[in-house]
Homo-oligomer: A and B are copies of this chain.
Amino acid sequence: MVIALNETQHGRPIGVKVREIRETLIKKKADAIIFSALDDIMWLMNIRGFDIPYNPLAFSIAFVTNSELHLFIDPTKIDKQVADHLNLGLVTVHSYDSANQFLQAWHEKNKSLQGYKVFVPNSTNYSLASIFGKENLLVAMSPIQMMKAVKNSVEMAGMRASHIRDSAALIEFLHWLEVEVEAGHDVDEISAAEKVRHFRAQQPGFVDLSFSTISASGEHAALPHYKYDAETGKAKIVKGGVYLVDSGGQYHDGTTDVTRTVVIGQGDDQFSFHNTLVLRGHIENAMAKFPKGIQGVRLDTLSRQALWEQGLDFGHGTGHGVGHFLSVHEGPCGISYRVSAGDEGLQAGMVLTIEPGYYLPGKYGIRIENCYELVEDAEHSAFLRFKELTLVPIQLTLIKKNLLEKKHVAWLNEYHATVLRVVGKYLLKTGKEAVYLWLEKQCVQLDEQSYDLWLTCV
User: Which residues does chain B contribute within 8 Å of A26, judged by CB atoms?
Assistant: none
- Chain B proximity mask over A379-391: 1 for CB below 8 Å, otherwise 0: 1101100000000
Chain A positions within 8 Å of B, measured between CB atoms, are 288-291, 294, 297-302, 305, 308-311, 313, 337, 339, 377, 379-380, 382-383, 405
Choose from B311, B337, B382 the contact partner of A380 (Cβ within 8 Å).
B311
B337 and A309: CB pair below 8 A? Answer: no
B405 and A311: CB pair below 8 A? Answer: no
B377 and A294: CB pair below 8 A? Answer: no
Alpha-carbon gap, A313 to B405, bound state (A): 24
A308 and B339: CB pair below 8 A? Answer: no
Choose from B288, B289, B300, B309 the contact partner of A298 (Cβ within 8 Å).
B300
B339 and A339: CB pair below 8 A? Answer: yes
User: Which residues does chain B contribute within 8 Å of A308, judged by CB atoms?
Assistant: 288-291, 383
B298 and A337: CB pair below 8 A? Answer: yes
User: Which residues does chain B contribute within 8 Å of A305, judged by CB atoms?
Assistant: 288, 302
Least CB distance, A66 to chain B, in whole angstroms: 37
Alpha-carbon gap, A300 to B295, bound state (A): 12
Least CB distance, A359 to chain B, in whole angstroms: 15
Alpha-carbon gap, A339 to B300, bound state (A): 14
B298 and A377: CB pair below 8 A? Answer: no
Name the residue in A302, A311, A377, A405 with the highest tally of chain B Cβ atoms < 10 Å from its Cβ.
A311
User: Which residues does chain B contribute within 8 Å of A288, judged by CB atoms?
Assistant: 305, 308
Choose from B301, B310, B339, B382 the contact partner of A302 (Cβ within 8 Å).
B301
User: Which residues does chain B contribute within 8 Å of A405, judged by CB atoms?
Assistant: 405
Least CB distance, A352 to chain B, in whole angstroms: 16
A382 and B311: CB pair below 8 A? Answer: yes
Alpha-carbon gap, A297 to B295, bound state (A): 11
Alpha-carbon gap, A379 to B290, bound state (A): 32
Closest 9 A/B residue pairs (Cβ): A311-B380, A298-B301, A290-B308, A289-B308, A289-B309, A311-B383, A301-B301, A291-B313, A339-B339
Alpha-carbon gap, A305 to B313, bound state (A): 21
User: Which residues does chain B contribute within 8 Å of A382, judged by CB atoms?
Assistant: 311
A337 and B377: CB pair below 8 A? Answer: no
Alpha-carbon gap, A416 to B313, bound state (A): 31
A337 and B383: CB pair below 8 A? Answer: no
User: Which residues does chain B contribute within 8 Å of A309, judged by CB atoms?
Assistant: 289
Least CB distance, A298 to chain B, in whole angstroms: 5
A377 and B301: CB pair below 8 A? Answer: no
Task: Contacts A297-B298, A298-B298, A311-B383 known; list 9 others, CB within 8 Å.
Answer: A288-B308, A289-B308, A289-B311, A291-B313, A297-B297, A299-B301, A301-B301, A308-B383, A311-B382
Alpha-carbon gap, A413 to B357, bound state (A): 34
User: Which residues does chain B contribute within 8 Å of A290, judged by CB atoms?
Assistant: 301, 308
Least CB distance, A205 to chain B, in whole angstroms: 37
User: Which residues does chain B contribute within 8 Å of A380, judged by CB atoms?
Assistant: 310-311
A377 and B339: CB pair below 8 A? Answer: no
User: Which residues does chain B contribute within 8 Å of A339, judged by CB atoms?
Assistant: 297, 339
Choose from B289, B291, B310, B337 the contact partner of A294 (Cβ within 8 Å).
B337
Alpha-carbon gap, A290 to B298, bound state (A): 14
User: Which residues does chain B contribute within 8 Å of A313, judged by CB atoms?
Assistant: 291
User: Which residues does chain B contribute within 8 Å of A298, judged by CB atoms?
Assistant: 297-298, 300-301, 337
User: Which residues does chain B contribute within 8 Å of A377, judged by CB atoms?
Assistant: 311
User: Which residues does chain B contribute within 8 Å of A294, judged by CB atoms?
Assistant: 337
- Measured CB to CB, the nearest residue on chain B to A313 is B291
User: Which residues does chain B contribute within 8 Å of A310, judged by CB atoms?
Assistant: 380
- Measured CB to CB, the nearest residue on chain B to A300 is B298
User: Which residues does chain B contribute within 8 Å of A297, judged by CB atoms?
Assistant: 297-298, 339
User: Which residues does chain B contribute within 8 Å of A301, judged by CB atoms?
Assistant: 290, 298-299, 301-302
User: Which residues does chain B contribute within 8 Å of A383, judged by CB atoms?
Assistant: 308, 311
Name the residue in A288, A298, A405 with the highest tally of chain B Cβ atoms < 10 Å from its Cβ.
A298
Least CB distance, A227 to chain B, in whole angstroms: 28
Least CB distance, A345 to chain B, in whole angstroms: 11
Alpha-carbon gap, A443 to B267, bound state (A): 45
